[in-house]
Structure formats: structure tokens, C-alpha cells
């Protein structure tokens, strides 16, 4: 039985193609679903995932959550290669978009049912795998499908549709990044992950409804392969690959707005205009700035610069990389303030977002458009996927760094003691897990004495309960020695948290044999009429927290004992590392750009209608 007869060539109309509203509606709903899910992913893994089962598990560290978040991002931007090849060579863009959108929906609903049955971690892994395949696979196809709708008579409308396309992306992202974190805070993960799934289902329906209005360009088949393997095709791919390796480092920093910048916002004063913002909501300011900056740069900045300096695409990208250096330097400075016990206002991070968004306009949009001009006619989706591969490479870099800085923890159980560093039982370095979850070792008595001194110093502070700054805390415990006759360490992590530690029996910091305790200031009394969050209610159900409205245990600080499991690169040192990496990349890019020699295919595209339009990744 023959399939439906779809139009395969654009009409001769000079007006907007009839299928465009379906594409714009689909894009807005799809981006809502993706960015809503991603806005809460890192926080969910660190603060919620371990509470999704019948019994609480060990919470994931921030570094581990960052690692998994960026590996997911990497997967999302690797799969466009698969989608592009299947669309351009075999099945066409429309079929791939519909098929993978259904996979995408299944991924969202898998996340929504985490904790219903079976290990929540496996549900999370399965859902993210399906979303990475669906979301990534359709990326180069949707954007290229836009360009397929235009012919010679309405080609001049491409800039307008690109503006509307990008506007819909950021409108969907802005709405979801404001709404979904609030749903997670008050109503929990099932609704917070379920609503994006419903929006993705709506996006798929809207796109399917436009099937008879779309232009369905047939797949290229052998012609796609011949052009890809031609001298022109391989040359374009080779030169763009080198260029995009530099852009990859930009994405290594940019995508940390969904990971390390959220965790930084947790330690800041988030009151702005009389409203207390959730940490995950702050990243929505990027979408807001994008909507302001695109017209500002297009009609203001670019014409002004062109009057004095030819602002080529490569110069725009280089300028954007330099702005990213400044943005991350500011985030590093914010972290320095946090480590001195301050709670800087969130306006400082918003300023960093302004710099980061200006960098995005200069780098992301310019690189997308530049890649499109350099792509041979039958390779549009493939070249777009090559650009998206730079996003994957950047996230792989960030995930790799977060993996490398994690120190393994000593596996402890309450059933049997661990023989410790020397591997022999009944010695000073033996470890065992206490009934309250504390790590009991030969260093426990001296660490307990250090805790008392730090708590006494906090109680005697002018503001009471303020943890001493790092130099003051070191002074308070200077005469104490661990069982191996070495001094203890003290560091203030933020205004609410400090760490006391011994280097352990091996005498080397940042190993699994480090022994210590994290002190976290306990919250004050919660009014009985206060509205409990989903986490409050869940902890009460699991018996690991007070019932809503009750005061927790007496004392100034909670104590979390550990043996290993910390990070080698943390706080401001982490942010300064990426700032330095970006500075080196910007300098090398300026040098490499002088030697770039490409070919602009725009004239060819105008003569023969384009096969695609670049998709914004933000």
C-alpha cells in the first residue's frame, strides 16, 4: 500500500510557507520540555535521587552530579550525527523527526516514573539515554527542515524565520526554567519531570499535524555520500573540525550554568526584587538576556563596530571567547567571596550571566551561521551535527574534569570493620561505621575535640553560630594532632559549611584515607504554619528528618563523617582552572583564525534553495 503523497518541492509563493507555524509551535514546546528537565537534573541527582526508593541511599556528591550531568549533555550532542546521516542519506528529515520524537517522549515519562518500582538510578539512566537519542537525533533535522520549506521566491524570508525560530527556543527555555524548579521544590520529581513529557508529546502532535503542509525533501542517498567524500566535502569537514575544537572549550564552560553555577547559587543571597529565587531558576536569566541581546547586537553593536573594524565571523567568535574568560573570572571571584563566609547577592552572578550571554551571541549564533555558509548543499544536516559535536566535546571535557577530581570513598558497612590503610585489623587506622552513620577511627577523638572548639568559636562569634573563617579555625585547632602526629586541617567552604579533616594514616591529602567531618549549620526553628517542601515531607516519611513544623535536634551544626569521597579541585580553584583554560583557548583561537581558509556556499544556496537552517543550542 502506497504511503501518503507529500509535496517534495517548495511552492512559488513569495509569502511564508504554510508549515512554518507547526515548526515554530513544535520548537517552543520541545525546548520547554528539554530545558525544563535539564534545569533540575543536577540538583535532582545531588539532593533527591537517593531518597526515591523505600530506604535512603548515600547522596551523590556535587562533583559526581556535575559529571553525570555533563555526560548526559555530551550524549545529547553526539547523537545528531546519527540523526543527520539517517535523514540525509536514507529516510528524510520528517520521518526521523517523528520517530525520534516518540523515543524522546518515552524518555521523559521514564524519568517521571522514577521510584515507582525498581532502583531509581536505573530509571534515571534509561530515561536520559532515551532523551539523548531523541533530542539529539532530531536537532540537525528540525533546523534543516526549516530551510527545506523555502524556495527562490521566498528565500528572502529566511532571516525572519530564523529570528522566530530562535525566539521560540528561548521563550520555551525561559518559561520552563522558571516553572519546573518550583514544581520540583514543592511538588516533587514526578510532576517536575512529567510536565516536560506532556509538552514533548504536544510538540510531537503539533509537528505531525503539519505533515501535509510541509515540503518533504527526499533523502540524498548516494548523492549525499558522494558530496561528503568529495574534496570539497572533506575539506569543509576538516577545516570546520579544527575550528570547532576551540568552540568546544566554550561549551565546556557555558554548560556549567546547569551544574556548577547552580550549586554556587545555593551559597548566595538569592533575594532579588523582594523575591527569593530558587538556584535552578537563576539560569533562566540567560534566555531572558538572549531575547534582549540578539536585536541589540544585530542592530546596535555590530553596525557600530563595523564602522571602525571589519567584524568578520571569526573575529566575532574570538571576541566571544574573550568575554567568556571575563564571565568565568567573575564567577571565580564570587566563589572566593563565598569561601570567606560571605553570601554575595545573586546580582553578581546575574552580571556574570550577562557577560556569558553576550559571549553566547558572539560564539554560538555566529558559529552556527558560519558553519551553514561553509557547508556544501547536500551536507547541511551533517555539518550542523559537526557543530553540535563541539558541544558534546566540551561537555566531555567538563565531565572528565569532574570525574578526575573525585576521591574514592572507603566502602564501609555496619557489619564488619575495615582493616584500613595497612590492611591489618586491630590497628589505629581501622575504620568502622557507627549506628548513626559516623565513621569511627583512631582519629575520631581528636576530630571530636576539634569540633567542640569550632562550635565554641562559632557560639562566641559576634553574630553567634557563624563558622570561623579558615585562618581563625586553623588557629583554634593548631595544637591538635591526629594519631599519626600530624596537624588537622580546617577549611570554611561557605557561610553554612566547614570541613575538619586528618590526612589519615598515609599522610597524604586527597586520598581515600582522609578522615574528617563536614559541619553544616542547622536551620533555625521552622514555624508550624510554614509550607513544607517536597524534600521536607519525603525525609519525614523516610524517618531521616523532623516532621514538618518540628525543630530538629539541638546543637549548632550537623555532622557528616567521611573516609575519602571528597574532591581534589573544589571551590574557587575549580572555577579558576576553567577560567585559565578558556584564556589559553581564546589566545590560540586568535592565532588559528588567521590561517583559516574556507569556502562560502551562500551564493550556491541562493541559486539552489537551501537544505537547512542552523539551530540554536540555547
Do residues 52 and 192 touch, judged by C-beta distance below 8 A? no
Q: Give 485: exposed, middle or buried? Use CB within 10 Å, 0-12, 13-18, 19+.
A: exposed
Tell me the torsion sign for CA atoms 448, 454, 460, 466: negative
CATH of domain 432-566: 3.30.700
The structural domains of the chain, with segments of one domain joined by +, span: 20-406+572-607, 432-566
**What's the helix, strand, coil split of the chain in %, to 5?**
60, 5, 30
**What string of DSSP letters covers 456-514?**
HHHHTSTTSSPPPPHHHHHHHTTT-B-TTS-B-EEEEEETTEEEEEE-TTTT-SSSTT-
The Cα 98–Cα 100 span in angstroms is 6
pTM for this entry: 0.89
Q: 161 pLDDT exceeds 70?
A: yes
Between the alpha carbon of residue 427 and those of residues 412, 424, 434, the distances in Å are 16, 7, 17
What is the structure's pLDDT at 81? 81
What is the structure's pLDDT at 282? 96
What is the structure's pLDDT at 198? 95
Average pLDDT over residues 415-424: 89
What is the structure's pLDDT at 547? 53
What is the structure's pLDDT at 357? 96
Average pLDDT over residues 553-580: 89
Name the CATH architecture for the domain at 20-406+572-607.
Answer: Up-down Bundle (1.20)
What is the structure's pLDDT at 466? 85
Decide which of 354 and 375 is more confident.
Answer: 354
Q: 261 pLDDT exceeds 90?
A: yes
Count of beta carbons in the 10 Å neighbourhood of residue 584:
12
Q: Give 209: exposed, middle or buried? Use CB within 10 Å, 0-12, 13-18, 19+.
A: middle
The Cα 546–Cα 528 span in angstroms is 12
Do residues 23 and 146 touch, judged by C-beta distance below 8 A? yes
The Cα 280–Cα 305 span in angstroms is 35
Q: 219 pLDDT exceeds 90?
A: no
The Cα 471–Cα 490 span in angstroms is 8
Backbone dihedral angles phi then psi of residue 517, each to the nearest 5 degrees: -145, 140
Do residues 489 and 498 touch, judged by C-beta distance below 8 A? no
Which of helix, strand or coil describes residue 14?
coil
Sheet holding 489-494, edge to edge: 489-494, 497-502, 515-521, 557-563
Q: Cell numbers at residue 190, please?
A: 514526578
What is the structure's pLDDT at 126? 96
The Cα 611–Cα 19 span in angstroms is 15
Decide which of 215 and 582 is more confident.
Answer: 582
What is the structure's pLDDT at 386? 78
What is the structure's pLDDT at 435? 79
Average pLDDT over residues 588-599: 76
Q: Say whether 432-566 and 20-406+572-607 share the same fold.
A: no
Do residues 561 and 516 touch, judged by C-beta distance below 8 A? yes
The Cα 285–Cα 469 span in angstroms is 32
Min mean pLDDT across 309-313, 347-351, 442-446, 549-553 is at 549-553
Residue 489: beta bridge partners?
501
Q: What is the pLDDT of residues 166-213, one digit of tens each?
A: 778 888 999 999 999 999 999 999 999 999 999 999 999 999 998 888
Count of beta carbons in the 10 Å neighbourhood of residue 597:
6
CA proximity to 612, closest of 366, 367, 372: 372
What is the structure's pLDDT at 522? 78
User: Is beta strand 439-440 parallel, antiparallel or unpaired with respect to 489-494?
Assistant: unpaired
CA proximity to 302, closest of 364, 356, 358, 375: 358
Band (pLDDT 50/70/90 cuts) for residue 380 is low
Between the alpha carbon of residue 505 and those of residues 483, 484, 562, the distances in Å are 8, 6, 14
Between the alpha carbon of residue 177 and those of residues 5, 48, 192, 276, 286, the distances in Å are 40, 18, 11, 15, 10
What is the structure's pLDDT at 159? 66
Tell me how far the alpha carbon of residue 505 is from its chain's centroid. 37
Three-state helix/strand/coil letters over 420-448: CCCCCCCCCCCEEECCCCCEECCCHHHHH
Average pLDDT over residues 398-410: 96
Count of beta carbons in the 10 Å neighbourhood of residue 183:
21
Which of helix, strand or coil describes residue 134?
helix
CA proximity to 27, closest of 163, 219, 151: 163
Backbone dihedral angles phi then psi of residue 266, each to the nearest 5 degrees: -60, -25
Amino acid at each position: 500500500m502506497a504511503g501518503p503523497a507529500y509535496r517534495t518541492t517548495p511552492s512559488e509563493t513569495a509569502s511564508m510557507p504554510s508549515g512554518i507555524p507547526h515548526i515554530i509551535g513544535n520548537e517552543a514546546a520541545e525546548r520547554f520540555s528539554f530545558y525544563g528537565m535539564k534545569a533540575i537534573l543536577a540538583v535532582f541527582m545531588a539532593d533527591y535521587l537517593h531518597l526515591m526508593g523505600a530506604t535512603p541511599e548515600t547522596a551523590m556528591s556535587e562533583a559526581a552530579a556535575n559529571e553525570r550531568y555533563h555526560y548526559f549533555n555530551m550524549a545529547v550532542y553526539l547523537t545528531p550525527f546519527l540523526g543527520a546521516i539517517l535523514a540525509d542519506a536514507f529516510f528524510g528529515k520528517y520521518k526521523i523527526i517523528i520517530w525520534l520524537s516518540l523515543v524522546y517522549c518515552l524518555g521523559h515519562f521514564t524519568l517521571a516514573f522514577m521510584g515507582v518500582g525498581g532502583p531509581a538510578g536505573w530509571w534515571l539512566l534509561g530515561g536520559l539515554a532515551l532523551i539523548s537519542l531523541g533530542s539529539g537525533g532530531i536537532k540537525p533535522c528540525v533546523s534543516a527542515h526549516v530551510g527545506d520549506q523555502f524556495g527562490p521566491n521566498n528565500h528572502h524570508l529566511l532571516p525572519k524565520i530564523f529570528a522566530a525560530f530562535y525566539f521560540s527556543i528561548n521563550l520555551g527555555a525561559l518559561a520552563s526554567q522558571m516553572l519546573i524548579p518550583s514544581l520540583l521544590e514543592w511538588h516533587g520529581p514526578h510532576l517536575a519531570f512529567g510536565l516536560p513529557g506532556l509538552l514533548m508529546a504536544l510538540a510531537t502532535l503539533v509537528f505531525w499535524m503539519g505533515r501535509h503542509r510541509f515540503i518533504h525533501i527526499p533523502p540524498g542517498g548516494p548523492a549525499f555520500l558522494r558530496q561528503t567524500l568529495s574534496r570539497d566535502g572533506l575539506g569543509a569537514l576538516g577545516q570546520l573540525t579544527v575550528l570547532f575544537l576551540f568552540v568546544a572549550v566554550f561549551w565546556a564552560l557555558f554548560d556549567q550554568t546547569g551544574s556548577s553555577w547552580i550549586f554556587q547559587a545555593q551559597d548566595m543571597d538569592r533575594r532579588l526584587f523582594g523575591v527569593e529565587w530558587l538556584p535552578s531558576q537563576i539560569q533562566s536569566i540567560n534566555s531572558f538576556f538572549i531575547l534582549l541581546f540578539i536585536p541589540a547586537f544585530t542592530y546596535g553593536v555590530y553596525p557600530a563596530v563595523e564602522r571602525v573594524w571589519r567584524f568578520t565571523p571569526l573575529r566575532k567568535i574570538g571576541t566571544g571567547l574573550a568575554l567568556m574568560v571575563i564571565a568565568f573570572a567573575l564567577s571565580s571571584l564570587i566563589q572566593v567571596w563565598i569561601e570567606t563566609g560571605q553570601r554575595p547577592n545573586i546580582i553578581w552572578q546575574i552580571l556574570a550571566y550577562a557577560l556569558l550571554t553576550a559571549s553566547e551571541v558572539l560564539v554560538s549564533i555566529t558559529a552556527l551561521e558560519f558553519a551553514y555558509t561553509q557547508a556544501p548543499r547536500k551536507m547541511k544536516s551533517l555539518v550542523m551535527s559537526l557543530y553540535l559535536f563541539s558541544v558534546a566535546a566540551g561537555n566531555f571535557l567538563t565531565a572528565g574534569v569532574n570525574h578526575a577530581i573525585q576521591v574514592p570513598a572507603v566502602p564501609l558497612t555496619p557489619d564488619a570493620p575495615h582493616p584500613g590503610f595497612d590492611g591489618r585489623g586491630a590497628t589505629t587506622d581501622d575504620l568502622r561505621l557507627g549506628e548513626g552513620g559516623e565513621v569511627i577511627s583512631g582519629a575520631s577523638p581528636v576530630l571530636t575535640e576539634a569540633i567542640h572548639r569550632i562550635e565554641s568559636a562559632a557560639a562566641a562569634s559576634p553574630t553567634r553560630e557563624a563558622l570561623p573563617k579558615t585562618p581563625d579555625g586553623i588557629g583554634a585547632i593548631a595544637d591538635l594532632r591526629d594519631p599519626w602526629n600530624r596537624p588537622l586541617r580546617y577549611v570554611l567552604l561557605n557561610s553554612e559549611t566547614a570541613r575538619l579533616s586528618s590526612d589519615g594514616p598515609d599522610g597524604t591529602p586527597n586520598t581515600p584515607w582522609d578522615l574528617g567531618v563536614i559541619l553544616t549549620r542547622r536551620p533555625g526553628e521552622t514555624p508550624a504554619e510554614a509550607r513544607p517542601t517536597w524534600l521536607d515531607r519525603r525525609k519525614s516519611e523516610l524517618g531521616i528528618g523532623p516532621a514538618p513544623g518540628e525543630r530538629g535536634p539541638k546543637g549548632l551544626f550537623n555532622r557528616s563523617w567521611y573516609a575519602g569521597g571528597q574532591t581534589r579541585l573544589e571551590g574557587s580553584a575549580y572555577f579558576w582552572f576553567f577560567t585559565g583554560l578558556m584564556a589559553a583557548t581564546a589566545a590560540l583561537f586568535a592565532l588559528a583564525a588567521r590561517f583559516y581558509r574556507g569556502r562560502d556556499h551562500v551564493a550556491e544556496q541562493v541559486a539552489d534553495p537551501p537544505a537547512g537552517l542552523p539551530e540554536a543550542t540555547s
